[in-house]
């Protein structure tokens, strides 16, 4: 069951609209929450934001925990003469996830307009970029009078709600506000705990369009070990892989990274030692781990993911037990790390 504090955090962050390149909306809230914890803030020019919990060890290694701030959505590509809006998809979105859903168009001044996909624009051979959206504008001039311009953000509308006696949570943008929320909970847990390493926790930008933020942050922080928090698609309805309620994902292979067996063994040993449920998972897509482990001279990286149904939609669903396993597991992993342990994990 989701605790009230957990649900409140998910609701606060999931209901922020931050399609890739519009992450400043999430970043502003993160800055407020990080400052409440009295932590040093680390920025870079692309828009990544990290909070630093400094170790007393003068020779401390750097451990970075990354969750991406952006969500999938659309941007305005063209205004049609009849007032409909043709949009460019941002991130991987299927046609199945947009029909009969509501969307929010936000102009540069912050004014928002509710709308939906024009159903007549969906044909048997339609592609996601063929879709036209109806936000109620009477014609092209009406849209222009409302300061609608190319590149304006169009985001999913999806209420954050608890379902099945608070055992599961449904919302838009759980990918990857899961990582943002868990990162915040980790910082709160370790607020008054001395660690043998410098801990960086935060949010990166533009993961959904090519892991772009994660290609920049290593150059600035130069971490020794990276743990990436993200959601992976449940495929339990089509194959026995990635099941809700079966625990943390040990993501051993995906399109952007094959994790080192030494890191996966460490993750599994900690989870097994503390009786935390986990499942092995092979993914078709990738995460920021793919950018981190190929940056600089190659950073030792592994993921700490959970699976979700209906990923990249207005109605993504995660399981409370999976989230509790992820939170407890990450806490135990960090408590298991000291200078010598990190040195043994990152050595060749």
Summarised one tens digit per residue, pLDDT across range 171-207 is 999 999 999 999 999 999 999 999 999 999 999 999 9
109 among known catalytic residues: no
What confidence score (pLDDT) does residue 145 get?
A: 97
Q: Going by C-beta distance under 8 Å and a sequence separation of 6 or more, which residues neighbour residue 172?
A: 14, 71, 155, 156, 157, 158, 160, 313, 314, 315, 316
Given a contact cutoff of 8 angstroms between Cβ atoms, the answer to whether 63 and 229 are in contact is: no
Residue 167 lies in a domain: no
Same domain for 36 and 179, yes or no, is yes
Do 135 and 190 belong together in one domain?
Answer: no
Strand 102-106 with 225-228, pairing: unpaired
Strand order in the sheet with 161-163: 161-163, 168-171, 316-319
Task: Indicate if 56 and 198 belong to the same structural domain.
Answer: yes
pLDDT in tens, 262-300: 999 999 999 999 999 999 998 888 999 999 999 878 899
For residue 96, the model assigns a pLDDT of: 87
**The pair of three-digit structure tokens given for residue 109, joined into one six-digit string:** 């001044």
Query: What's the CA gap between 90 and 132, in Å, rounded?
Result: 15
| 162 is a domain residue | no
Strands (E), 135-230: 153-156, 161-163, 168-171, 198-204, 225-228
The answer to whether position 133 is within a domain reads: yes
The reply to whether 128 and 262 lie within a common domain is no
Residue 237: the pLDDT is: 63
Residues 246 and 128 in one domain: no
Average pLDDT over residues 24-29: 96
Q: What is the pTM of this model?
A: 0.95
Mean pLDDT of 232-247: 83
Q: Provide the pairing of β-strand 73-79 with 49-53.
A: unpaired
Same domain, yes or no: 219 and 255: yes
- Residue span of the structural domain in which 77 resides: 73-156
Do the domain assignments include residue 276? yes
In the chain, what percentage of residues exceed pLDDT 70? 99
The number of residues making up the chain comes to 348
- Has residue 146 been placed in a domain? yes
Same domain, 64 and 84: no
Looking at residue 268, what is its pLDDT? 98
Q: What is the DSSP code (8-state) at residue 305?
A: B
137 and 194, same domain (yes or no): no
267, 227: one domain = yes
Determine, yes or no, domain membership for 188.
yes
Residue 282's domain is classified under what CATH number? 3.40.630.10
* Residue at a domain's end among 114, 129, 156: 156
CATH number at residue 145: 2.40.30.40
- Going by their DSSP bridges, the two strands 168-171 and 161-163 should be labelled as antiparallel
- Checking DSSP bridges between strand 306-308 and strand 231-233, what pairing results, if any? parallel
Question: What is the torsion angle, in degrees rounded to the nearest 10, for the CA atoms of residue 31, residue 34, residue 38 and residue 40?
Answer: -70
What are the residues whose beta carbons fall under 8 Å from the beta carbon of 93, sequence distance 6 or more?
72, 73, 74, 128, 312
Domain assignment present for residue 31? The answer is yes
Choosing from 156, 183, 202, the residue where a domain stops is: 156
3-state secondary structure of 310: coil
- Check 6, 23, 71, 207 and give the catalytic one: 207
pLDDT, position 93 = 94
Whether pLDDT at 240 is above 70: no
Q: Are residues 316 and 341 in the same domain?
A: yes
Contacts of 69 (CB under 8 A, 6+ apart): 18, 23, 26, 27, 30, 49, 176, 180, 203, 204, 205
Query: Over the stretch 64-105, which tens digit does the pLDDT of each residue have?
Result: 999 999 999 999 999 999 999 999 999 999 988 998 899 999
- Name every residue whose Cβ is closer than 8 Å to that of residue 301 and which is 6 or more positions away in sequence: 225, 226, 227, 228, 257, 259, 263, 289, 292, 293
Specify if 96 maps to a domain. Answer: yes
CA separation for the pair 256, 69 (Å, rounded): 19
Q: Is the domain of 124 the same as that of 190?
A: no
The mean pLDDT of the chain is 95
Mark whether 198 and 208 lie in a shared domain: yes
Q: How many domains does the chain have?
A: 2
Domain boundary among 156, 190, 225: 156
pLDDT of 239 reads: 64
């Amino acid at each position: 069951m989701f605790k009230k504090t957990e649900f409140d955090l998910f609701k606060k962050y999931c209901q922020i609209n931050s399609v890739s390149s519009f992450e400043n909306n999430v970043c502003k809230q993160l800055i407020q929450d990080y400052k409440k914890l009295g932590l040093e803030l680390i920025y870079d020019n692309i828009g990544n934001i990290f909070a630093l919990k400094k170790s007393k060890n003068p020779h401390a290694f750097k451990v970075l925990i990354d969750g991406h701030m952006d969500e999938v959505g659309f941007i305005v590509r063209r205004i049609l003469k009849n007032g409909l809006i043709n949009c460019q998809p941002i991130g991987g979105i299927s046609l199945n996830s947009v029909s009969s859903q509501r969307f929010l168009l936000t102009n540069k001044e912050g004014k928002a307009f509710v709308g939906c996909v024009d159903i007549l624009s969906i044909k048997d051979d339609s592609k996601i970029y063929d879709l036209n959206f109806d936000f109620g504008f009477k014609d092209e001039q009406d849209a222009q009078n409302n300061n609608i311009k190319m590149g304006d953000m169009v985001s999913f509308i999806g209420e954050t709600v608890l379902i099945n006696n608070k055992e599961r949570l449904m919302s838009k943008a759980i990918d990857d506000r899961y990582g943002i929320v868990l990162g915040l909970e980790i910082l709160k847990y370790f607020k008054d705990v001395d660690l043998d390493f410098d801990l960086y926790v935060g949010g990166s930008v533009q993961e959904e369009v090519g892991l772009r933020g994660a290609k920049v942050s290593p150059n600035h922080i130069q971490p020794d070990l990276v743990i990436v928090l993200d959601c992976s698609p449940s495929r339990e309805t089509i194959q026995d892989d990635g099941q809700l309620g079966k625990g943390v994902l040990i993501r051993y292979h995906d399109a952007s990274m094959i994790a080192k067996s030494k890191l996966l063994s460490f993750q599994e040993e900690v989870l097994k030692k503390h009786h935390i449920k986990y499942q092995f998972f092979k993914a078709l897509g990738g995460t920021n781990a793919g950018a981190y482990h190929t940056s600089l001279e190659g950073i030792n990286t592994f993921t700490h993911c959970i699976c979700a149904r209906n990923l990249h939609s207005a109605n993504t669903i995660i399981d409370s037990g999976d989230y509790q396993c992820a939170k407890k597991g990450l806490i135990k992993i960090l408590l298991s790390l000291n200078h010598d342990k990190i040195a043994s994990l990152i050595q060749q």
